[in-house]
Amino acid sequence: MANLGYVGLGAMGGNMADILMAKGHTVTGYNRTASKADWLVRKGMTLAGSPKAVAQAADLIFVMVTNSAADEAVMYGPDGLLAAMGPGKVVIDMSTVSPAVSRKLAASVREKGGDMVDAPVSGSIITLQQGKLSVMVGGTKPTFDKVKPILDDLGPKVTHVGDNGLALVMKIATNLSLAVQMLAFSEGVLLAEKSGIARETAVDVLLHSVIASPMVVYRGPFVLKMPAEAWFNVNMMQKDMLLALELGRQVDVPLPTTAVTNEMLTTARAMGLVDEDFATIFKALAKMSGVKP
């Protein structure tokens, strides 16, 4: 059993910390809004007052924050992770951020004698709870071998994809397809509905057709009823789409469907849907089609 730290206890990070404790690991956690971690404290997690305090208490420190700026904020400064980083400590950064920023952070950790891997995941809270999460890891092979047994506790598929930053490339490549699939699914539903087929019937047929990928199966029903709390909101998805478009420019890969889908996310923002799950692009397209969402 390992002595773990967890910085960033939002919906996904908090559920991961919960699972790690259930597996018998000791977890010291930090969240910017401490009250959101109360439920984990009741389950046995130790709440720390800063990222630095987490690094002081733990050997392997998970990080899951919203973007590159937040990642740098928990790493640097007098109360950041780096202030307590040293030999033998490893940062497992599960945040979806710029690969360049991640590589910079990894270099800073190594300067302190520790090491870091980027380890973004493919899946949602439901996937995590079902034990079907997929983890991609970028970093040195010896460090990957060190952290893999812990990552195995979070999901059955843990893959070393290469050097630092490359797991984030893989994550970005994965996430762009989620939004593109959701838009294509929405187009199909609305085309059927406006032609006279009940929305519920169209959804049922599509979910039992050859286009029913795992993402479509668990998010497709959102066009009938959106979840009360977003699994992955418009802001978060558009951040990943913009990372994809920037990476595409850097390596000269055209991303036409990504670009169009990104514009639909902007449309959703303009309609005031920014805090809803990104599946709300269905609502945006429905309004454009003259159909009641």
Q: Tens digit of pLDDT for each residue in 162-194?
A: 999 999 999 999 999 999 999 999 999 999 999
Q: Are 206 and 104 within one domain? A: no
> Distance (Å, rounded) from C-alpha 272 to C-alpha 71?
27
Mean pLDDT lowest for which of 118-132, 141-155, 208-222?
118-132
Range of the domain at 150: 3-163
Given a cut of 90, is residue 101 above it in pLDDT?
A: yes
Number of separate domains in the chain:
2
Q: How confident is the model at residue 2 (pLDDT cuts 50, 70, 90)?
A: confident
For residue 39, being part of any structural domain is answered with yes
Between residues 132 and 253, the one the model is more confident about = 253
Residue 70: predicted pLDDT = 94
Domain end, chosen from 129, 163, 197, is at 163
Torsion sign across C-alpha atoms 84, 90, 94, 98: positive
pTM: predicted TM-score of the whole model, two decimal places: 0.88
Mean pLDDT to the nearest integer, 49-55: 97
Catalytic residues: 171
d(CA 125, CA 66) in angstroms, rounded, equals: 15
Same structural domain, 46 and 151: yes
Tell whether the model's pLDDT for residue 129 goes beyond 90: no
- pLDDT mean across residues, the chain: 95
Domain of 201, CATH number, reads 1.10.1040.10
Residues 15 and 106 in one domain: yes
Instruction: Using alpha carbons, select from 206, 181, 202, 207 the residue that is nearest to residue 192.
Output: 202
3-class secondary-structure state, position 148 = helix
What pLDDT, on a 0 to 100 scale, did the predictor assign at position 40? 97
**pLDDT, tens only, 25-48:** 999 999 999 999 999 999 999 999
- Same domain membership, residue 186 and residue 112: no
Q: And the tokens for 175?
A: 């996430």
pLDDT over 70 percentage in the chain: 100
pLDDT of 46: 97
pLDDT of residue 48: 97
* Ranges of H-type helices in 112-165: 125-129, 141-151
Tell me which of 133, 163, 193 is where a domain ends: 163
Which CATH number characterizes residue 120's domain? 3.40.50.720
Question: Considering the domain boundaries, does residue 293 fall inside one?
Answer: no
pLDDT tens-digit map of 60-75: 999 999 899 999 999 9
Q: Do 174 and 132 fall within a single domain?
A: no
